[in-house]
Amino acid sequence: MTRLSVNINKIATLRNARGGNIPNVKTAAINCEQFGAEGITVHPRPDERHIRYRDVLEIRPVIRTEFNIEGYPSDKFIDLVLSVRPDQVTLVPDAHDAITSNAGWDIPRYRLFLTDIISTFRNAGIRTSIFVDTLTSNIENAALTGTDRVELYTEPYAALFDTDAPGAIGPFITAARIARNAGLGVNAGHDLNLDNLRYFHQNIPWVEEVSIGHALIADALYLGLENTIRMYKRQLSD
């Protein structure tokens, strides 16, 4: 079964735009789980423009399914992860001022850097995932870092899907097979939505987790959060 992890960053963005605590991020995390999400994802950035470090500390005790923290492994981020001890940490190469994740790691270049960090998290009993594109060299080198999983960066798939779905999914099938053969679990995320998620899952049914935030929260404005989560889960089960 492929798990749906809901990224609640956009809920925090809405709260921060006005100040105060509406909408309540912790309540949103609880509701997402009650409505069927199998995980909650947060991505605190250095400027805390959406999820704040304090949010992460407050959310952790209420998560009953799986908690995934994404981020660039700065010293502050590493300290947060070790104090919170999520079920999974996803390492992304974002610059501090990135609007959103827009590339995977160049793992041959950063393999030793990542290996040291992953060892720290492994010793703390935290599962690790590395954000990667579909280049074979990145997948093969990810297996050498000690990571448990890779998360496939799916924006290129989403961008091509409407005009050439088979061409869009092809590199991801290859990458997912290489990862599986190397003993790595496969996650996926970025720009997956109600239009393209089912096709992705049908072609790579062994994906263990999809992390979806922007599209899901946007859909919830029109469809309601509970209904939207159920609709996304149907894409992973039909």
Question: Cα separation of 147 and 121, whole Å?
Answer: 10
Question: Cα separation of 63 and 75, whole Å?
Answer: 25
Q: Which tokens belong to 138? A: 């990145």
CA angle, corner 37, sides to 89 and 101, nearest 5? 45
Q: Which tokens belong to 45? A: 């950035």
Count of CB atoms situated within 10 Å of the CB of 133:
20
22-27 long-range contacts (CB < 8 A, ≥24 apart) are 25/51, 25/55, 25/58, 25/59, 26/55, 26/58, 26/59, 26/62
| Residues forming the active site | 43, 70, 190
